[in-house]
A and B are shown apart, each in its own frame.
Chain A
Amino acid sequence: MKKNKSLLWLFAMILVVSAFLAACGGDDGDTGSKDSKKEDGTTEDKAADGEPQKGGTLVYGIDAPPEGLFSTAFYGIQTDFDVISLFDESLINYNENLEPEPNVASWTTEDNKVFNFKFEEGVKWHNGEELTVNDWVFAFETLADPDYDGPRYTNVQTIEGAEAYRNGEADTISGVEVINDYEVKITFDEARVNNLTNLWSYPLPESVLGDVPVAEMSASEWVRSTPIGIGPFKVDKIVPGESVEFSRFDEYWNGDVNLDKIVLRVIDNSSVVGALQNGDIDMISLQPVSGPEVEPLENVEIVTYPGLSYYYVGFKLGKFDNATQTITEELPKYQSKELRQAMMYAINRQEWVDAFFFGYANVVNKPVPTSHWNAADDAEADLNTYEYDPEKAKEMLDAAGYVDINDDGFREDPNGDEFVVKFSHYATGNPTFESRAQAITQYWEEVGIKSELEMVEVNLYYDMIEKDDPSIETFFGGWGTGTDPDPSGLWKADQLWNYPRYNNPEADQLLDDALNIDIVGTDQQKRADLYIEWQKIVNEEVPMLYIAELEEIVAMNERVGGTEFDVSGSNSPAEWFVTE
């Protein structure tokens, strides 16, 4: 009897495990877009009217518990980065066009290979030590250390000698030359146009971490419970997994700080609306699905700003071999450009976006978020906007040979064989995912393409796509692009994350040219022209159907002022204030 009980319990446990498997794949709204990073900027001015006020406490909400890796060098999830941005800042900022701007560090370069950086003097860490270039060099050496367990080696990889340092062949990184406490010369292994945007731009405080072995850094107290930075607020107290208390850092280098305190609270999505209404939280990023509920609240204002992520429906056009980094095989089913275009015309993307993103997203026609400086203007670049046109879709399918020959109501392929489009979408606990995926297959069925939907558990989903699993034919996905607008990592034929396995040497050449300093020099317009050329090609060839780009949504209590948001994120928290 007793034994049975524990067996029962075990089964319950297994059930629980499998239930979570099914239920909790990720955060609601934008699981599909793998993270869209924010960094700084301007456009929408909200603000309670009037002059900035001194003092007061702002309660800042986040909807997922941080993991507690409060260091830019070690953090893994966006939530942790949200916490970090309140107490630390980057040496280099990005403006609303996502172009680098001096913050603590300014720079000069002749050839995009050798950069001279100059730091502001008198910048203080929260422990009172002065920030010098040595802290930055220390960060490089940490990231390039063989024991470093974070994911950011790639941001120092391009410095000359980083590879040798990592392999233990050198004691220092040869490309980094400290001139004095405020000046450093950095040499990259070759001249690239995006060397600066790729470079690691956060210092690490050598004064506290200098003696900690790199392997133990991420677990150290400094990262977990007493992190310091150079930002306008310093961390006072951390209650793991639920809240963080920040207070004004009086020795902040860059002007006055308005607020006395910021309290960061973790809040479950189910409570967000109530907490906003009651004024329990002053500011929080919203999921699109909460938008319609928050809009009617009188004491809360919603601010939206462009995001850096887009959603798409991809076609598997080939198979990729990761060992040789080449596309080894071409899959015939979706090679017809007319078929892909017709499937694009068949989807009413505006209607779909309105229904599932509540107006917090815009239809896109290219795989570059509109806010990037290299995004093509649809009209100017003469991109095909693929307005919803089922009749045209039908005509195109007829012309391409996809005709219904056995009168079952659905088209057959040009060889006369049954043609079924298999569409995959990731499944999490979010119930709207299935309906939004269903909606897409229905658009296709309306023009006579038989479609089948498969919902795949989200953790398995990207794995299957990455490995070119034969059961994935067309798939829903999303990408967040960073501040570097170069799409090479997601589009070139030798890239693992080129999920459609799009293989077009001409397009790849354009991407290479845009990064080739011998061709574009330092002329941004020249680069932009090449990227626009490339966007014309992928807009025409539609290796993926571009669906929408998301907006970031922030809800703020009316008493909050001084905030500005643009594509790179919010302005410095130093400027925020609250009125009583």
Chain B
Amino acid sequence: MLKYTIRRLLGMIPMLILISIVVFTLAKLMPGDSLSGEIDPLNTNPEYIAEMREKLGYNEPLPVQYFDWITGFLQGDFGKSTRFKVPVADVIIEKIPNTLFLGVMSLLITYILAFLMGMYSGRKPYTIGDNAIAGVNYIMLAIPSFVAAVFAIYFFSFHLNWFPFGGSVDILVEEGTLDYWFSRLHHVLLPALVLGAMSTASYTQFLRNDIIENSRKDFVRTARAKGTPLKKIYNVHILRNSIIPLVTFLGFDFAALIGGAIITETIFTYPGIGQLFLDSVTSRDYPTLMALTMLLSFLTLAGNLIADILYGIVDPRIRLD
């Protein structure tokens, strides 16, 4: 297992290098640069822009720029955000708690909903209830989350007044108090619901299929022959077996937790990684864009690795070496 992990970790290095080259090139291929949005007779003059381009090294050939960037990156210097004018690491660290909070909440909502729906569907497959659940799930999956977000704000915030329409916390509440955490929870709930409830489909269907499959297995027949109550068979014997493969999904969710929800965060003006990523793309903030991409790529690769290792743990038949 250890050998396998190390091998996989080493294998990530060329992958990350390749990703960095591709993303860097793509980023630079985008028209304009971080200064082209600043052309404005009130604030700047052409000399300033030319001078800044020179200072930021935008006039160097692309490979030189890449090399400069990667050298700094490897030494832990992610560069200075051209937009916020502070080190990229600071910008990212500032946003991570928000995004993590939203990610965990939405994942929790997904898990709970998917668990309940999957259990029901698995127990009563091919009934109206099962089909309704599948239908709703796939419709939710098909609705773009930004459309859902706008509707959710309109309905829950403006009509019912249940939730705030945006932000991550009420600024008037004193930091550190119980009210503060309550306010944060209150703010995060609606975006988390939109994100969480919309993506239950894969978990629900996975759980459902696994339960159906398990319910046809010999041990279930034996249990029934013994006269074990059906409820117990489903809730204990089958569920325990069916939940194990779900654990491996955790690995894939790993990157999604940090990656945030790009558009949803923007609509809810929830300052997190997703919003930052979007802004860094539109304002051509290369250092931030690259650092975020690398972070997300790394997390995805790491997530895959965790998923693979978890496979091995939950199912000893899968040999990793």
Contacts and interface: CB of A to CB of B under 8 A. Distances in A.
Interface of A: 2, 5-6, 9-10, 13-14, 16-18, 20-21, 24-26, 34-35, 37, 57, 65, 67-69, 74, 76, 149, 151-154, 218-219, 224, 237, 239-245, 261, 263, 265-268, 270-271, 274-275, 277-278, 280, 322, 457, 459-460, 462-463, 466, 479-482, 489-490, 496-497
A459 B38 CA distance: 10
B69 to A, nearest CB: 17
22 contacts: A2-B307, A14-B23, A17-B26, A67-B84, A69-B84, A76-B83, A239-B168, A239-B271, A241-B95, A244-B171, A245-B171, A263-B171, A265-B171, A268-B268, A270-B153, A271-B157, A275-B158, A459-B37, A463-B32, A466-B39, A479-B41, A489-B45
A237 to B, nearest CB: 6
B43 A35 contact: yes
A67 B83 contact: yes
Interface stretch (B110-118, B232-240, B295-303): B295-303
A241 B281 CA distance: 17
A427 B230 CA distance: 61
Interface string B39-83: 111111110100000000000000000000000000000001001
B150 interface: yes
Contacts, number: 176
Contact of B26 (A14, A270, A460): A14
B158 A457 contact: no
Given A154-B48, A270-B150, A322-B46, A460 B41 contact: no
Nearest to A325: B46
Q: Which 5 A-B pairs have the closest CB atoms?
A: A459-B32, A460-B31, A241-B271, A274-B158, A151-B44
Contacts of A245: 171-172
B275 interface: yes
A151 B48 CA distance: 6
Nearest to A21: B30
Given A240-B94, A242-B271, A278-B158, 5 more contacts: A152-B43, A218-B85, A267-B166, A268-B266, A459-B37
B165 A243 contact: no
A278 B166 contact: no
Nearest to A10: B19
B41 A489 contact: yes
Interface in B287-314: 293, 296-297, 300-301, 304, 307-308
A497 B44 CA distance: 11
A16 B261 CA distance: 12
B153 A271 contact: yes
B269 A463 contact: no
B182 interface: no
A462 B36 contact: yes
A16 B278 CA distance: 10
B125 interface: no
Contacts of B94: 240
Interface string B15-30: 1000100110011001
Contact of A219 (B31, B38, B85): B85
B131 interface: no
Contacts of B270: 242
B15 A242 contact: no
A154 B47 CA distance: 10
Contact of A151 (B43, B150, B279): B43
Contacts of B271: 65, 239-242
B245 interface: no
Contacts of A9: 255, 300
Given A219-B85, A243-B171, A463-B36, A270 B267 contact: yes
A35 B46 contact: no
Given A35-B43, A67-B84, A271-B153, A242 B30 contact: no
Given A6-B304, A268-B267, A224 B43 contact: no
Given A24-B282, A459-B32, A241 B166 contact: no
A20 B46 CA distance: 27
A2 B301 CA distance: 9
Interface string B76-102: 000010011111000000110000000
A271 B173 CA distance: 23
Given A218-B85, A219-B87, A459-B32, A239 B171 contact: yes
Contacts of B30: 17, 21, 459
A31 to B, nearest CB: 10
Contacts of B40: 34-35, 480
Given A24-B278, A67-B83, A218-B85, A242 B43 contact: no
Nearest to A269: B267
Contacts of B169: 239, 242
A20 B41 contact: no
